[in-house]
Copies of this chain bind each other. A is one copy, B any other.
Amino acid sequence: MKKVTIHEIARALEIDSSTVSRALNDSNRVKKITKDRILEKAKELGYKRNMLASNLRKNVSNTIGVVLPRVSRHFFSTAIAGIENVAQQHGFNVIISQSLEQLEKEELIINNLITNRVDGIIISVSMETKKGEHLKNIIESGIPLVFFDRHIKDFQNTGKVLIDDELGGFLATEHLIKCGCKKIAHFSGPQDIEVYRNRLSGYQKALEKNSLIYDKNYTFSSRLMETDGIAMAEKLLTELKDVDAAFFANDVSAIAAIKYLKKAGKNIPEDIAIIGFSNEPISEIIEPSLTTIDQSGEEIGRLACELLIQNIKKGNKVLNNETVILNPTLIQRDSTKSN
């Protein structure tokens, strides 16, 4: 097996390996002619720099770790696109890991990123992540951290790029109200997750502003998977017959509910209006197409990565721990009907 190192090259040319190293890094301490000879020999031998060694010595890794619940969600995959774009522009590699909403997996991943000495971490935490003990390790290891979307409320010393979920919840709810709905149920996610609390709070504010009564018996929490959507639809058909609109905190559950309600003979939006959150691609395909809130994943990814790289470059200096908040937008489709 090939094992070409700078020492191989040095030996072949009868020069010192330090000169080879400098030549390969295009240092001006090496004469042009020597440089050329070295580069040629390197190509000839099929030399590939060993990043492990280089990074160990330089105490960097040139790599950004991205941790998120799952890559298959549209919002996250567009965020990845944004992150990769920016990272590439600055010469960083990106490694992506999925927590699959499991805290234990997230801990493993984080530990792994730390031991692999990534230069920075961008994270959107799992549904099971309440406190951030494992995340504190990141800070203690001196690795810059940026949250995006799902964050931990009181976590200090990190940048954050968030969606104004309260505004999103508000927009969704007010839209339903404008459609003439009077009794609006809200199906939220785990309440120890900031984003879901905020969507709920936006829902409350919209009700309040429009003089509707907030009744906590019309608010539910679940993990918002497909099965949860079905369970909620079932609930709408039985216990919640007076409800004329439902605001789901994500599209997946909203769509599962729509399918179930249709099968049960309900008309959407006439009998019950439905609104989701996230603007997944399927929300456009389902019939009726789903009114939802768009979060601009690409932009959030881009901004998170820019903030992170800014902090990586600052080194030990005071980091930029600002919180950037993006505005979500309402995408009106056929599952709600404004009159």
Mark A residues whose CB is within 8 Å of B.
1-2, 46, 48-53, 55-56, 61, 70-72, 74, 77-78, 80, 84, 93-98, 111-112, 114-117, 137, 140-142, 255, 259, 281-282, 285-287, 316
Contact = CB atoms under 8 A, between A and B. Distances in A.
Contact of A96 (B50, B71, B74, B316): B71
A72 B77 contact: yes
Given A1-B142, A71-B96, A77-B71, A117 B52 contact: yes
A334 to B, nearest CB: 13
A316 B56 contact: no
Interface secondary structure of A, over-half rule: mixed
Contacts of A96: 71, 95-96
Given A56-B53, A115-B48, A285-B255, A71 B80 contact: yes
Given A51-B117, A93-B112, A255-B285, 16 more contacts: A1-B316, A46-B137, A49-B115, A50-B56, A50-B117, A51-B116, A52-B55, A52-B56, A52-B116, A52-B117, A70-B77, A71-B71, A71-B77, A72-B77, A72-B78, A96-B96
A259 B117 CA distance: 48
A2 B49 contact: no
9 contacts: A1-B141, A1-B316, A48-B115, A56-B56, A71-B72, A72-B74, A72-B77, A255-B285, A285-B285
A249 to B, nearest CB: 19
Given A51-B116, A77-B71, A2 B95 contact: no
Given A1-B316, A93-B112, A96-B71, A52 B48 contact: no
Total copies of the chain: 2
B140 A2 contact: yes
Contact of A97 (B55, B94, B111): B94
A163 B72 CA distance: 21
Contacts of A52: 52, 55-56, 61, 116-117
A49 B115 CA distance: 6
A290 B142 CA distance: 51
Nearest to A78: B72
B114 A48 contact: yes
Nearest to A113: B93
A119 B53 CA distance: 16
Contacts of A84: 98
A111 B50 CA distance: 11
Contacts of A93: 97, 112, 116
B285 A51 contact: no
A98 B78 CA distance: 12
A113 to B, nearest CB: 9
